[in-house]
């Protein structure tokens, strides 16, 4: 009887570590982000009742975040073209300098998705999320003097910073708690 109980306890403990409640994961992660309200609003549509495997939630978050960054990247391309056509070479140059940073961040998220079945994937995902976040943060330095970023683009860029923060907090949290799936 003792042996069966110990086996049951081991299996229960293992499953508890492997399957983390998405509701708790969302709460835990969003409370650690820079903008918890934005996080809850962003991840709520990604949360599906019954998702218990963290990698499913992580991949959904990566996909949505990658899409946000890619849409802002496309907006940068359009803004660069419009600034060039309106003879504003400084603004066109600032947008041109921002494109590689967004390209890098999108690429980092694609690589994260590609390794989701690899050993130590949360450790690598956390590293890539940190690199993506750093890349997006550097965009602000392209707009000099400080404060020269157009207000409407600043709002888009803030969304990018927020989604990068969500992915970084999520992957780092899962790495730190030793999640495996």
pLDDT tens string 2-33 = 544 333 333 333 333 444 555 588 899 999 99
Are 15 and 53 within 8 A, CB to CB?
A: no
pTM: 0.85
pLDDT band (50, 70, 90) for residue 140: very high
What value does the mean pLDDT take over residues 64-72?
A: 97
Predicted confidence (pLDDT) per residue in 71-105, tens digit: 999 999 999 999 999 999 999 999 999 999 999 99
The closest alpha carbon to 70, from 105, 42, 94, belongs to 105
Buried b (16+ CB within 10 A) or exposed e, 59-78: bbbbebbbebbbebbebbee
């Amino acid at each position: 009887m003792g042996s069966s109980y110990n086996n049951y306890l081991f299996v229960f403990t293992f499953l508890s570590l492997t399957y983390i409640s998405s509701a708790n994961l969302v709460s835990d992660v969003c409370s650690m982000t820079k903008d918890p309200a934005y996080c809850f609003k962003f991840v709520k549509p990604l949360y599906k009742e019954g998702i218990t495997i963290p990698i499913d939630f992580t991949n959904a978050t990566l996909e949505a975040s990658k899409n946000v960054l890619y849409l802002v990247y496309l907006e940068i391309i359009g803004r660069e073209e419009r600034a060039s056509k309106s003879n504003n070479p400084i603004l066109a140059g600032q947008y041109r300098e921002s494109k590689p940073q967004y390209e890098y961040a999108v690429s980092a998220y694609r690589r994260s998705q590609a390794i989701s079945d690899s050993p130590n994937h949360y450790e690598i995902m956390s590293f890539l999320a940190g690199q993506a976040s750093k890349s997006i943060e550097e965009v602000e330095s392209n707009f000099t003097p400080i404060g020269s970023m157009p207000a409407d683009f600043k709002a888009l860029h803030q969304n990018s910073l927020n989604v990068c923060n969500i992915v970084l907090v999520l992957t780092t949290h899962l790495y730190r708690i030793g999640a495996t799936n």
